[in-house]
Structure formats: C-alpha cells, structure tokens
C-alpha cells in the first residue's frame, strides 16, 4: 500500500463576494457571515474580473495562480474558490473569521 495520500497537498475551499470595476484590486476583509470581501479594477466582462480575482488571491496567499481555482460562481458576484497547497488553518490565519 502506497503512502502517497500522506503527501497529498492540502486544499481549502472558501466563498468570495467580488465587486468588479472597483478601481483597485484588494481584499477588504471578511464579512460577518465568513465570506471574503474582494474588489478588482477589472470589469466583469470576458472573465477579466475572475482572472483578476485569481491573481489577487494568489498574491495575497503567496501561492501560484495555478493553485487558485474558481470552482463555482463564474458569472455572479458570489464565488467559490479552491486553493491547492494550503490547509484551511493557513488560509484562515491570513483572513481571520473566514469560513473554510
């Protein structure tokens, strides 16, 4: 039996509320309901805002863009993100109060 499962990188899922066309790319913190609040300058056209969100979260968490995946909510303000390579406690330490 292989022990490769012991080495699988962690992944963390969390919700993001995104505000496109906000003039700046930044994380505003965590809402009372545990959702990350983020804004990007890019418009919500042709996936530009989603791409900017992935870049922003990768930069904030110190991971590669390929580690950050948008898994639900591509066309709405409410997104579900998965970050590969970080455990939930590592992401929650970055944004206290985040529901992971």
> Residue 46 sits in a domain of what CATH number?
3.30.1200.10
- Encoded tokens for 69: 């995946």
Q: What is the dihedral of CA 33, 39, 42, 46, to 10 degrees?
A: -10
Identify whether 1 is part of a domain. Answer: no
Identify whether 3 is part of a domain. Answer: no
Total-model pTM: 0.90
Task: Quote the domain boundaries for residue 38.
Answer: 10-94
Identify whether 100 is part of a domain. Answer: no
Identify whether 5 is part of a domain. Answer: no
For residues 2 and 43, which has the higher predicted lDDT (pLDDT)?
A: 43
Q: What is the pLDDT of residue 10?
A: 87
Average pLDDT value over all residues in the chain: 92
Q: What is the pLDDT of residue 4?
A: 44
Residues 52-97 pLDDT 10s: 999 999 999 999 999 999 999 999 999 999 999 999 999 999 999 9
85/38 Cα distance (integer angstroms): 21
- Encoded tokens for 67: 């580690």
């Amino acid at each position: 039996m292989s022990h490769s499962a012991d080495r699988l990188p962690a992944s963390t899922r969390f919700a993001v509320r995104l505000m496109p066309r906000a003039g700046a790319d930044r994380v505003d913190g965590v809402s009372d309901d545990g959702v990350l609040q983020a804004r990007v300058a890019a418009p919500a056209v042709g996936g530009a805002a989603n791409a900017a969100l992935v870049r922003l979260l990768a930069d904030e968490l110190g991971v590669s863009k390929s580690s950050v995946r948008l898994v639900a909510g591509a066309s709405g303000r409410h997104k579900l993100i998965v970050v590969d390579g970080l455990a939930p406690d590592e992401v929650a330490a970055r944004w206290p109060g985040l529901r992971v």
